[in-house]
Structure 1
Amino acid sequence: MIQNFPFYLSLIIVIVLLIMIANKIRVAYPVLLVVAGLLISIIPDIPMIRIDPELILIIFLPPLLYEAAWTISWKELWKWRRIIGSFAFVVVFLTATIVAFVANHFIPGFSLALGFLLGGIVSPPDAVSAGAILKFVKVPKRMSSILEGESLLNDASSLIIFRFAMIAVATGQFVWHEAVLSFSWMLVGGIGTGLLIGWLFMKAHKMLPTDANMDTVLTLVTPYLMYIAAEEIHSSGVLAVVSGGLLLSNHRHSFLTTSSRLRGISVWGSLAFVLNGLVFILIGLDLPEIISGLDGVSVSTAIGYGLMITLVLVVVRILSAYGAVFITLIARNFIDVADSRHPGFKVPAILGWTGMRGVVSLAAALSIPVKLSQNGPDFPHRNLILFITFIVILTTLLVQGLTLPLIIRKVDLPDYNDYLPNDEAEEMIRREMSKLTLDHLDTNYRELLEKSSFLQQISKKWQDKMEKEPDIKISSEIREAYLDVLDRQRAWLIEQNKNEQRHLDEDLIRKHLMQIDLEEERLLLVH
């Protein structure tokens, strides 16, 4: 381990350089990282990176899921809950089932249980890959929201399938009524564990005398504790992290200080950056070891199996996208849907083509134990499953990942006008927050306003950033008044985000909330 440490450090540098190149040539960085890992793996005497299968899910999944839960918009998640839920659960279960029967029929020696195991591994699309691609092209906000929400929840459904299939492979039996009870407990126990631990951490942040560094450390511990606690009671660790992360994310302004929020954004952004980069480069680095374990199956045959499963995944997802449209058109006659207009046929086609696989699929495949039990026989077809997973990830990243931006540019996607245009929304927020600030100062701090040049400056142009700190003495009383103004602005923005009639993009609201946090931090640093 120690002798390979320079190699691990060099990998981080390679990841950074490759992502810089990917941004420069406008290619999704997961594509370059996978190819780079593949090329590095064929260099003679390159150290093998080995991670304990039992630890792979714990190391990578909790922080990546937690970070995703913090960045996703709850408003968008709730608005598109039906389509997100259908893709995250129904489509994943359907995909895993079809993969199971195809694998069982065409791959010699592949039982139905092993087929479901493979289906659970390869069924969830990867949001990191799609997000990296979509940032180079303009797509409707609803599309990116659906992809983000789907990826946040489909990990849970796919890993539930994966767990049941593992039990079936190990025991050779599958009892339906026990599975239904176990599935229900995984859902209820996972969500309940995440919410309980999230609530406890909220209280801890409020009651304990923590600073920004301590708060950041606690946020790093939180997802791991949620995941491990849920897994210990045999429920879903993924749902625990997602539910707990969403709870804390939506109450972040009630228990974290401004400094803690700003520090957390920087730390979590860097951590997610490194973990995602490592996972994608690991995909390529693992190939030689996987190939060496393909006993009794030629590489060309295994590649054929991988391409066959990839084709199944692509076809099922595209058909599911159009099926969701068809069901929505019927459902709008009986229930309220997020948008009752006909979505057209372009967006479902694009959604169907965004099914790149990545982090979760690799982590799940690598977590398969080498042996069925401690001293038992080898896990059947483990390396073949790993190889098929690798082919699926590589093919979807290269084919769909490289063609998706071209397709989006060629297809004239409709503008659904889900939100006010950014310029118009910015102007509305600026105007109304200015009025709110002036009214709040005049109503609550009129006497201070008359004698304080600082508050007079704020009342005239609070939203402008000063290039240098003002050479003005600010008393604690005046500082508290301005902090109160910022709190009122923050509360107003949060209220506007909940107001469905305003049609404001939550990303824009978060931008202004961060500006308020930065202004508050600047004021606190003056003293």
Structure 2
Amino acid sequence: MLENFPFYLGILIIILLLIMLANKIKVAYPVLLVLAGLVISFIPGVPVINIEPELIFFIFLPPLLYEAAWTVSWKEMWRWRRIITSFAFVVVFLSALSVALVANYIIPGFSLALGFVLGGIVSPPDAVSAGAILKFVKVPKAISSILEGESLLNDASSLIIFRFAMIAVATEQFIFSKAAANFSWMIIGGVSIGLLIGWLFMKAHKYLPTDANVDIVLSLLTPYIIYLAAEEVHSSGVLAVVSGGLLLSNNRHHFLSSKSRLQGLNVWESFCFILNGFVFMLIGLDLPQITKGLEEVSLPSAIGYGVVITLVLIVSRMLSSYGAVVVTLIARNFITVADRRNPGIKTPFILGWTGMRGVVSLAAALSIPVYLNNGNGFPQRNLILFITFIVILLTLLIQGLTLPYFIKKIKLTDIYDPIPRDEAYNQLRQELAQYAIHYLKTNYNDQVENHAQLQHLILKWEQHSNGIDDESIGTDLKVIYLDLLHKQRQWLVNRNKEDQTLDESIIRRQMHYLDIEEEKLRYI
């Protein structure tokens, strides 16, 4: 390991340079990283990369899921719960079923159980790839919320399918009653464990004498502890991390200080930035090892199988997207659904085209054991690994490179947001300033009359200014201003709960501003 350290250091530098290049030419960085890893892997003298599945599942996956849970809005997830759960569970199952049937039909010796193994691996789209692409184009908030919510749940549903298929391959039988019981425990146990451990960490943050550094280290430990605890009792570690992350994210302003929130945000963004970069580079670097394992199947045949499976995934997701719209249009005549407006034909097309595969598919494929419990080799393991790589590569290239073009060409109109986001943000700031002025005049009227700085602060808010002057103020005024910031946060939380149409990212943006204001008080 130590002798390869310069190589990994060089890989890190290459990752940074490629990401900067991707940002410059406005291409999703996972595409460049996978291609670069592929090119580097064929350079003579490059160390052979053997990716251990535990490296992906236990090192990379928990923090990436946890960070995604902190980023996503629970309110938006609940608002679009019907379509999110449809894509995360129904569409994933239909994709896995389509892959299983086609693989069983076209690949010699490929049983239906092996087909579901492959289907469970390649069925979940990768949120990182979609997020990297959507960064360069403007899409309606509803679409990004649906994709974020789906990405948190589809990993769990696909891995559940994968686990049951693996059991069927190993035992050559499938007992429905036992599978149903295990399925229920994976979901209920995973969610329960995630919420319990998340609640314990929340209390630890709140009642122990922690500072910002300790809070950040605790936050880094949280996803790993939740994941390992859930996996030890054979429930879903993915659902556990997602559940715990959503709980802590929704209560972040109750147990973390402003300094912990600000510093933690920067640490987590940098940490996940590096993890994502390494994962996509490793996908490309591992291809030679995967190709060497193709002994019984010729390389052209294996590539052909990968292309067919990729087409099956693209077509099944597109059909499912339009099917979901049709079901919604019919169901809204009989039941209350999340939104009654017609999304047209453009929105489901974009949702259907965001089907790039990535980290979870790679991890699941690598976790297939080389040998079964009876000592026999796992059937078609190397072919499954190769097909998974082809699916990841083709979806990143085909859908990843064309998605920005389609988004710009289609010109989606946001039928869900009543007013533009910038306008909504400015309106919220104005209302918050009015609330702050009213609160000061009501509760600190004497101090306002006796302190010119408070009067100046009120005047600046009335003129729609930003923040306060970087001038030294007395301790008593700091106490008043801290109290005001606390009340403003409460007002924002209540406003977020009361107005279900208000984009929560606007609330979080203003919360971030208040955290910065509180930190400024430490230096003035």
TM-score (norm 2): 0.97
1 CA distance for matches of 2:145 and 2:467?
35
Q: 1:112 matched to which residue of 2?
A: 112
Structure 1 residue 464: Cα displacement: 4.1
Shift of 1:254: 0.3
CA contact (8 A) 2:322 2:348 kept: yes
Q: Distance in 1 between matches of 2:233 and 2:467?
A: 53
Aligned to 1:469: 470
Q: How does 1:417-456 map to 2 (within 5 A)?
A: 417-456=416-455
Match of 2:136 in 1: 136
**Matched residue, 1:511:** 509
Aligned to 1:412: 411
RMSD: 1.5
CA distance in 1, matches of 2:263, 2:131: 24
Change (3 A) 1:316 1:467: same
Amino acid at match of 1:145: S
Instruction: From the superposition, tell whether residues 490 and 305 of structure 1 become closer, same or farther in structure 2 (CA, over 3 Å).
Output: same
Structure 1 residue 474: Cα displacement: 1.5
- Residue 468 of structure 1: how far off its partner (Å): 7.0
Question: Could you tell me how far apart the structure 2 residues matched to 1:269 and 1:243 are?
Answer: 20
| 1:346–1:413 contact (8 Å) kept in structure 2 | yes
Identity of aligned residues (%): 67
Tell me what 1:330 maps to.
330
Paired residues for 1:470-509 under 5 Å: 470=471, 472-475=472-475, 477-500=476-499, 503-509=501-507
SS at match of 2:2: coil
Q: Residues of 1 paired with 2:137 and 2:261: CA distance?
A: 29
Q: Secondary structure at the match of 2:297?
A: coil
Cα deviation for residue 410 of structure 1 reads: 1.4
1:207 aligns with 2:214: no
| Amino acid corresponding to residue 149 of structure 2 in structure 1 | G
Matched AA of 2:301: T
CA contact (8 A) 2:18 2:29 kept: yes
SS of residue paired to 1:273? helix
Equivalent residue, structure 2, for 1:219: 219
2:179 maps to which residue?
A: 179
SS of 1:3's equivalent in the other structure is: helix
- Cα 1:222–1:325 change in 2 (3 A) is same
Name the CA distance, whole Å, in 2 between partners of 1:262 and 1:35: 35
Partner of 1:289: 289
Amino acid at match of 2:479: E
Q: Counterpart of 2:392?
A: 393
C-alpha distance in 1, partners of 2:2/2:408?
48
Cα deviation 1:211-247 (Å, max 9, x = unaligned):
0000000011111111111111111000000011000
Structure 1 residues 256-267: aligned runs within 5 Å: 256-267=256-267
Q: Unmatched 5+ residue regions in structure 2?
A: none
Q: How far off is 1:56 after superposition?
A: 2.4
Counterpart Cα distance in 2 of 1:385 and 1:104: 12
1:521 aligns with 2:497: no
CA contact (8 A) 1:419 1:505 kept: no
Alignment of 1:9-408 (within 5 A): 9-373=9-373, 376-408=375-407
Q: CA deviation at 1:465?
A: 4.7
Change in Cα spacing, 1:478 to 1:177, as seen in structure 2 (3 Å) is same
Contact 1:124 1:357 in 2 (8 A): yes
Which moves more between the two structures, 376-385 or 40-49? Answer: 376-385
CA offset at residue 407 of structure 1?
1.4
Match in the other structure for 2:6:
6
Shift of 1:466: 6.8
For the 8 Å contact 2:51–2:286, the answer to whether it is kept is no
Query: Which whole-Å CA distance do the structure 2 matches of 1:355 and 1:51 have between them?
Result: 24
Report the alpha carbon displacement of residue 316 of structure 1 after superposing the two structures with TM. 0.4
| Deviation (angstroms), 1:483 | 0.3
Contact persistence 1:55–1:367 (CA under 8 A): no
Instruction: Deviation per CA, 1:36-65: give whole Å up to 9, x if none.
Output: 010111111111222332342111110000
Q: 1:467 to 1:430 in 2, by over 3 A?
A: closer
Aligned letter for 1:310?
T
**TM-fit CA distance, 1:430:** 2.4
Q: Deviations over 1:377-434 (max 9, x none)?
A: 3222211111100000100110111111111211132330424213432332222111
Distance 1:258 1:74, change over 3 A: same
Q: Deviations over 1:129-167 (max 9, x none)?
A: 111111212222111111111111000000001111122
Distance 1:134 1:170 in 2: 40
Q: Residue deviations 1:455-507, cap 9 Å, x none?
A: 2232222574579731x3412x2211100101111111112222236x32211
Going from structure 1 to structure 2, the CA distance change for 1:219 and 1:238 (only over 3 Å counts) comes to same
Q: Distance in 1 between matches of 2:311 and 2:227?
A: 33
Aligned counterparts of 2:283 and 2:337: Cα–Cα separation in 1: 40
1:384 aligned partner, one-letter code: L
CA distance in 2, matches of 1:104, 1:486: 61
Report if aligned partners of 1:60, 1:363 keep a CA contact under 8 Å in 2.
no
1:85, distance to aligned residue in structure 2 (A)? 0.2
Local SS of the residue matching 1:504: coil
Partner amino acid, structure 1, of 2:179: A
Q: Count the aligned residue pairs.
A: 522
Q: TM-score, normalised by structure 1?
A: 0.96
